[in-house]
Structure 1
Amino acid sequence: MKDKIIALVGRGQIVVWEGAALWLLEGTQDRAELRPHSHHAIQVTFALKGDFKIGVAGEDLSGPVAAVDADASHTFEATGVAAFLFVAPESAAGRALQQGILAGRHAASVTTGPLASALGGLRNCYEGGASGAEIRQLGQDIVDALPTADEGSLPDPRVQAMIDYARNHLDGSITLPTAARLAQLSDDRARHLFVKHTGLPFKTFVLWLRLERAVAKYAGGSSLTEAAHDAGFADSAHLSRTFRRTFGLPAAALRLVQALATIPVTANRTHEGRYFHFQRATAAMPETAA
């Protein structure tokens, strides 16, 4: 299949945590557009300023909030500012979205419930120039508010041992048998217990940890290759393939503004912080650092 040009230009912030990510994206052109594409994460789109249109399975959906199921091919057009909540379909929150809002459909508009209620908080985040930590906390709060999301209880100490092992070895190989041995569990018992307490298979959990670290390192000024290696990916191409499969964009579409950017958010306020530029890209775009 030929590479499709992704005509999305803008700037924004990305936060990633285990099983989910939240993007705030401000367009720098009249209208941003994504041609037909799919990604493994469930996508929930929020119109913070302006509007959007999602085309999927012959149907057009518009804001202010809409969800697209994992791996569903769709188009996207938007003006203004949008927020994107990406959720791993293997997670408890992902299963809640598929069983509830999506209910077997490729996409659905959202008019009630915690996702619809989150719109105001996301708009306040954008207008108030929230920090990355504040955006992440809001994203986690939104996910935790979903019907079957974990309520924040501490995991079993054996699961915590597996989590600690994964977090401390992201720059190398991480395996379930090693994690199970450290937790003094059989492989099968470790696999079951981990899903029960985290909502994610161990392999998927580790993948999101790697994405989280890679995005943080890239945001901190590392090259794409450096960020990939530090997060345990084989190379930048491996990171980009994983990023694209998860979010629908190659990692090279992100061009970090290394200097602090001053971005007006209201008539009287500005927010200083590191921002990404999202540039026109193709899947074959060279994986070089900005």
Structure 2
Amino acid sequence: MGSHSVQPPIPTPTTPAGREGLDAILARPDRAVIALDFDGTLADIVPDPERARAHPGAVEALAALAPKVASVAVITGRPAGVAVRYGGFAGVPGLDHLVVLGHYGAERWDAATGTVNAPAPHPGVAAVRAELPGVLHEFDSWHGTWIEEKGQAVAVHTRRADDPQAAFETLRGPLGELAARHGLILEPGRQVLELRPPGMDKGVALATYVAEVDAESVLYAGDDLGDLAAFATVEKLRGAGPDGIPGLLVCSGSAEVPELAERADLLVPGPAAVVDFLAALADRL
């Protein structure tokens, strides 16, 4: 995917608002924010989340794109440091101004400093962590489920259960009650249920960052229910009258999360296609 290769054309968004967003990015790339989810967008979804890695070519495409735009930000539910490690984002020429907003924006890693800024963990997370094994045992959901420690949050994955969707549905209510009891919220995703502190989501993180950069256009790409808040932020920004900011919403993979696909301006069939799109955009700029 070097600069000498011929890139395919940029796919055309299917909505007028999406086409306006893409046009604004192409017209003034130096004022555009490119914001991307990690899992399912830059990295393929895998049965064991600890084995997730950025798709081959993702870092190269981002490094080609980043110097041409105002900023590239990765907004993820993962801890910022984990996303940096799994993405291979540290010390990459061209990505010296990359920002990773982890835990839905509660944590921040800046490539410029190589450091993570994070708040103290919510006390409810430790309480939930202690009670989780008992809840999984009570609902006979221990076999095949997997608890992911995220520092600022804790997640239960059902992807490896005999019937992943049945396990997901069985646990959704009880884990929601457990979260509420300790002042947390339940964030459902693709065969994962995350218990995390309230008050921060990808929409808040994106809105804050777009304002910080003083962007004139924004692209957001995601694949899961947690990305709906970021989609809503882009919709709100571009609906804000004369002071609005044009935006482009990209959905990576459309089969598992129709709620996201229905609101996207552009559907691409997964991380490989997201990487191709980013490379084509970099080539065009």
Q: If each structure's strand is expressed as a fraction of its own residues, which one has the higher value? A: 1
Q: Which has the higher contact order (CA 8 A, sep 6+)?
A: 2
TM-score (norm 1): 0.29
Q: If each structure's helix is expressed as a fraction of its own residues, which one has the higher value? A: 2
TM-score (norm 2): 0.29
